[in-house]
Structure 1
Amino acid sequence: MSDRGGTTDQAGSMEGRSFGASRISLRHMLWGLVLALVLPAIVIACAGFYSVYRAERQATDLRVQDITRAMTLSLDREIEKTETAMRILASSPHLRTGDFAAFYRQAKEAGLPEPAWVVLTGMDGKVLLNTRVAYGTPLPDSIRPDTIRRIQQTRRTELSEFAVRPITEQRLVTLDVPVVVADRVAYVLSTAIGSEVFQKLIQDQRIAEGWSASVLDQSGKIVARSREPEHFIGQYVRPGLLQAIASSAEGNVESMTLDGIPVRTYFNRSEAYGWSFIIGLPASETAAALWRPLLWLLGLAAVLIAGGVLAAILSRSIASPVDRLVASAQALGRGEPVDGPPTRVLEFEAIRNALAEASTAIRSQKQSREEVLAHVAESEARLRLALGAGELGSWEYNPSTGEFLTSPMCRANFGRAPDEPFTYMDLVAAIHPDDRPKQAEAVAHAMANRTDLHVEYRAIWPDQSEHWIRISGRTRLSPDGSLSMVGVSQDVTEGREADERQALLLHELNHRVKNTLATVQSVAAMTRRAAEAGDPYAWDAFIGRLQGLAKTHDLLTSTSWSGALLEDVLRSELDPYQDALRQRIRFRGPKVNLQPSAVLALGLAVHELATNAVKYGSLSAENGRLSVMWAVTSGPGPALLLVEWTERGGPLVKKPERQGFGTKLIQRGLAQQLGGDIKLDFAPAGVRCVITFPIESVLIAAEVADEEEKRFA
């Protein structure tokens, strides 16, 4: 027996050691948790800080590149300003009459930027005048015969490279403009632009301290520089940068400045003149962008190390209370006093065993009560969840006693505060007077037949706003034998309003589609008759009218079909024919907002007038001009909108022998649809069309009074 007992004890001891060896202590679990949190945080932090560095680098690249692009545009504008002034001088009538003295005075007053001057040279190389000296002073012949001969052949303006002029010893750029007289190049008009102009352009931009900015000519020679310009103006930039500028219009490249500073150079080359603007960002600033995330990363590492030390301290603090908790749970399970020294056991397993023993001892006493409470709590939770999800308010009504119980949501459906008293009489008083009979009949029918209650009616809130309420209920017998009703309430105002809006939108969409199809059908029918009459351009005209109609639809769509400005309708059709200076076609008139129907009709009319002007009228000639003016007029009769279309500078106009399709379309679209009056005058100098509309048929009513004050005639 003793052998058997010893064997059993030994086996139990081995089993305990084996079971213990497979467990993990609480301290190890805490360290594992710390590592599981720290390692992903380190990886994510590294990736995040690298992403921040990349984002900051990209933001710097975009910002500096935008600066170079803006500076190149400023450089172009500066040169274009001088070129424009020279072209104006080149068109001077004094040059065509040979009055060089008068031209000399005109050139002196041209207002070119200092220290520029103007030189006029003949095709034989003779310098006729120079505003740098008094008129009549003997002048040497030009030293640039090749340039004069090339300009005579190409008839193009040339901008020279930056160089030091042998006579004046000034660092200049020369702008040469051909002077055409009687369809030949008779003279070359030249001006010299000093580097001071471009140096001032850089100084005005206030380039950041430490950066270097430069203006380069076509060959890569420095024309102006923000740092030490006296030492570097006239020198070429490094070959690597020249190659990068030649291969791309803009970008950035790692390079070295002429004064030996490593930089990241951002450049932008002008497409018009071939000049470039560059900004050198020191490599030290680029490295600073990397150091900031690195410092944050080091700070994070320090925090993580401190967290590890704190985790070690906490693990030691947690282990002892857990041991005491295990001992207390075991004592509670045996019914013994909770005292005595702590027992050295593995934490999680000991807690599990202790709680199991304690729960077994008290389960029989609490099981029944807990099951009932759990079922009740679960049912109440489900009910609250369902009512809250559906925004439903609950109510109970007992007709025999008049008792009326409501939930806060139910009171909120009728505009009451959660704690505000709300009786059944209050409910009836809140119902819209027109809906009270319907509600009373529904309740009486449900109570008499013991059926479900379903009714919707309008409720008037204390703030006098109107809301739609849906009521659902069911009858039941109360414990005292009386018949009562319970149910829910729901505010369905938004759903009702959404249904009404949807019906209105569908009706409006149907109306607009019908109007558009009617317009297309009318244009197609008239185009067909034109094609049958032998018009070879009928199909192209039809496509053009559809495209014009599409533009007008796009204009209305951008305003959600609430109308459009008259000027926007005109620009939508006429902007394709406008010149760069916006002088060929001029608009003049007050701000007038047209109704959608007027936008469609006027858009087709303007399209027809523009098409006729491009084919036969003023827009078919290079010097042709078009003027569109409009005004809101008032008088003894109803207010009118007057639109005047005037062409000039085009071919000689002849009155057509028959009324064309475009004229018919204008009259049908404007006269029939809007009640307008159209007058076409085919004067030899240019077509003139005057269109008059009644204000109420074309303008949005709210704007008529405001525009009356701003109108002009």
Structure 2
Amino acid sequence: MPRSSPTIRSRLFTLVLALVVPMIAVSAGGAVLLWKLDAAATERDALHQARALSAAVARELGLAQAMLWTLASSPHLESGDLRAFHAQLQQVPRPEDARIVLSDRSGQMLVNSHVPFGTPLPRRGDLGISERVFATGRAQVSDLFRAAILDQPIIAIDVPVMRGGRVLYALDMALPATLLDRVLAQQKLPGEGAIATLVDGQRAIVARTVAIAEYLGRRLTPEMQRSIATGEAGTIRSVNLNGERVVGAFTRVPGCAWVVLLGTTEALTRVALWHSLAIVSALGGGLLLLGLLAAWYQSRRIAGAIDRLATAPVAPRGSGLREVDAAARGLAEARAVRDRAEARRAEREAQLRTVLENMPLGVLLVDAPSGRIMMRNRRAGEVLRVTPGPSAGGEACCGWEGYDPEGHRLRAEDYPLARALAGEAAPSLEIRFRRRDGSLAWYRSTAAPIRDPANGVVTGAVVALADIDAERRAVAALAESEARYRALAGSLEVRVREETEARQAAQARLAHAQHMEALGKLAGGVAHDFNNLLQAVQGSAALIRARPTEIERVRRFAGMIIAASERGSAITHRLLAFSRQEQLRAEAVDVPALLAGLREILAHTLGAGIAVRVETDSGLPPLLADKAQLETALVNLAANARDAMAGKGTLTLAAAAVTVAPDDAVAHPVALQAGAYVRLSVADTGEGMDAATLARASEPFFTTKPLGKGTGLGLAMVRGFAEQSGGGLQIDSTPGRGTVVWLWFPAGMEPAPAEAPAGLAPRRATPAPQGTARLLLVDDEAGVREVLAEQMREAGHAVLDAAEGATALALLEAGEAVDLLITDLSMPGMDGAELIRQARRRRPGLPAILLTGFATEGAGPVAQGGGDGDVVQLRKPIQAEILAGRVAALLDREPALR
């Protein structure tokens, strides 16, 4: 071989190397450039597709909002008839599994289309959106949450129900998240491996084209959240929930805080890069050699394909160029997406039109810039006196041809439509329109603004016209009826008042006459008895004063004075019992034990000719009465029976349990209340009474006894005591066959505890004073004050006396040592009850005794005691021993004061 061969070979190698290396470099650079261009195109396509997805989601939400705005103007909500509104919801077509809820400000559900009306409903689980609706008065879209009733993930769309310029309710449509999955699935995604995701304001996944069951409710990674934090749209390069790097685009859904993301993992992008490099490396040389020849031919093919692509209504057949074919497929898919969206929009509009045409009120959609009617239902056309049937759009809405201006002087800008078009909350207005037949009818006009979800600009208004003519006529008729009723009631009231006043005047005159008659009888009887007593007291006192040195004579007449005073005290006690002013202390009384004790006493006191018998039922309940008064009443009845039998006969004391039924209470001879009673009876075998005597037997001061032998107060006192105790008295008598006196007393709940027979036992011995005390005695009667002071000094006490309350208080304020206060109740200026209260303010816990000659309510507050000391009420006249004993008892309770 020649020497030049290596040189030639090396030159040939160098020439080949010079050709191959640039070819390889150009091929690699071309592959990288192609990948970058493809990635940029993918990002642009993803951004455009993300915007299309966002528009589809916003359109779905907007249709739901339009339906809710229409329902918000329902007349049933205006009148508060929620049951009728629930029935209306059942007629409204809505997406599958969607439910409509009406709730108040607290989030409490009032109506739910998925459950029967009246079913107890919980509070809403998405209180945040409800609070925003009441705060802003604008439509809101919630984040993903779990429904309380359906127990599934849903989203809610809320609109306010406006009345009188304020939000009355929140009307909400809850849509299952699967509905938005279908919206995303209907869109064609660019390239293989692309995934579309819809997230809410909390960046939780609401819908996803792939594996939504696994990702529903999960929140995006922090890096992904930062990637979409700013801007309305853009590209992203971040990390997904699986830790993979993704590239793609995002855009926000108009009118809410939701975001649509569309992306592909970088791994799939790298596969495309390496594939391009392999192809370019293998075919780079051939393409380089053929490029110049094919350039002219390919340019003509590309230009022709582009021309056909721009003019073809559908995707052309394959041109042989990948880019051109891909663009053709993209345009065809975009047209298909547009056609599907148009079909769904038409379907939603048809549903909305069905709702509007079947609503019982007129509905109009008015354009904001032009003020023309863009859509209306048949009812609105009838009200506005235009051609019947639905509107095709474009009708004028400024004439209000049927409006009756009589009585209305509002400015044009004050009407609901004008205020809604201005973006204000429009209160409802009641106006009149003239119907086709010429009659005037009342309608309630309500309007609400419609805003662009993207920027909040008012684009129109929805107007509702509700026929309230029948309601207004009913209100007017009711007002007229009420006026006639008030006039009639006024005349009847005047007549009833006049008749009532006349009857009351007649009753007052009758009561006054009866009162004067009783007062005359009472005064005559009391005067007769007290004149006898005063005669005995005055005569005895005069004899004592005439011969004070004759001890036995003085003692005898002093005893007569004491006996007369005791008889006078007994008369006053009987008078108080008769007038029902005696203070009784009811207690459970064991009736068999009481009657047994009385039998032993009466057997010795009535005389040997009187046989006393006791008859009681077994298991007899106790009766409720003042035991001491009951004993006195029975003894008085026994004494009357003895006198009626002239000292010979049989006296029977009996007791039985009786029950007065409600039906028998009115007809009962004693007029008892319904309930359980114990009936006592005192029966004798005496001469009996005729009808005239029996009719007056219990009258005050009526007696058949000889003059001076009776006061006529015995039976009257017993009747008063029985009625005051809650029972009554009845007398039955026949001449020659004796007399029976029945007493009814309320029965206790349980049998009284057994106790020893207790008759009229003497009082217990009064405890003797336990030392000298310093007493303050107050009484306006000088004689009474002097006698009481001397009696207390005889009992061993030191006594300060005062004639009035002011003097007594001055002594206390001066620092006088006082252990106990004794005061009369009835005194001029300051009575005894007030004196005790004032004294105890100055000397807390000071014991006191209140003396009174009659029962009065004024003594009640201090007679109950309390505080650091105690208060006792005693009745005049009182024996010195009893008063001294009460003083000693009170001082024993207060050793510290002594």
* Same fold? TM cut 0.5: no
- TM-score, normalised to structure 1's length? 0.38
Higher helix share: 1
Task: Decide which structure has the larger Cα Rg and report it.
Answer: 2
- TM-score, normalised to structure 2's length? 0.31
